[in-house]
Structure 1
Amino acid sequence: MENVGEARWDRAWRFRSMIDSGARVTFSSDWQVGEMDPLVGVYSAMTRAGLDGSQAWTQGERVGLDATLEAYTRGGAEAFHHENALGMLREGYLADIVVWSGDLYDMDPAEILEQRADLTVVGGSAIHDVRGELGGTAAAAAVQDPAGAGQSCSEPDDSHHCHSH
């Protein structure tokens, strides 16, 4: 707030307003203006609060989990001009997936900061696997059919949530 002043603070990071206007929003964890941990970005977008849970600001600009994940996945792919190869779990797309330690949909936003990446798959290969359940070609085979039964996951349904970048 010290950089823009209290009078203009309500105009900072107006993601909900942009999404509601129809604008495509992209979130990223590699900007120097924010934290590198994407879960910090998810928490911040959903709560508009400090990392200690205090000082929520412009609460009307909060963004739900689906819109936040879409901004990180599909939005990122579009910003990078790779929307035909990234951003969704779909046949023919690169299999870049993160499996979090808990179900982000089944927790209070404050609990999101306690989660970690249990599995990271890039291009169909597991590059980080906390549980040691997948590896090498097993990871590639597992991600070729991410939604099961030969289906791609371009839109979630009631039985699962899917977002990929």
Structure 2
Amino acid sequence: MGARHRRARNSMGLRSTAVVAAAVAVPAVVAQPAVAGPATGPDRSTPCAASADVCVDLSRHRAWLLDDGTVTEGPVPVTTGSRRNPTPTGTFHVQRKDRDHVSKEVRNAAMPWSVFFDDQGRALHGGSLSRASAGCIHLDDEDARTFFDALHPGDEVQIVE
């Protein structure tokens, strides 16, 4: 049986999420408020704030999708920029999406499932996990499609060292 997500506000007015399983006896889940630290769980903790919709950890070469501080996908492997073309750190927002983008800056390189997050043309997209990018965040094609489908303009992208 699938689980349903129920969102509520606690006595301090902070939004929290609890998971209620149908016809299964499970201990109560105490959700962290949205202003709490990183999402947690077995091998699913992230170094990003709960406000992030995407968390990318450059040093661990991992990325996660989050919903109100709860990991919904990941960690998934990524490759990022080189020393010459580094991936920037900081907080960004999804600007636009393009399912079949082709780079004009990097020799007409295919950038499937692109989710653009800065004014320099950097994006999360399908790409090689065996080499550095030109500053983008490469995911395998299946993960890139999952991120593409889940994200919308305005969603928060956090990239940390």
Work out whether the TM-score is over 0.5.
no
Larger strand proportion of the pair = 2
TM-score (norm 2): 0.27
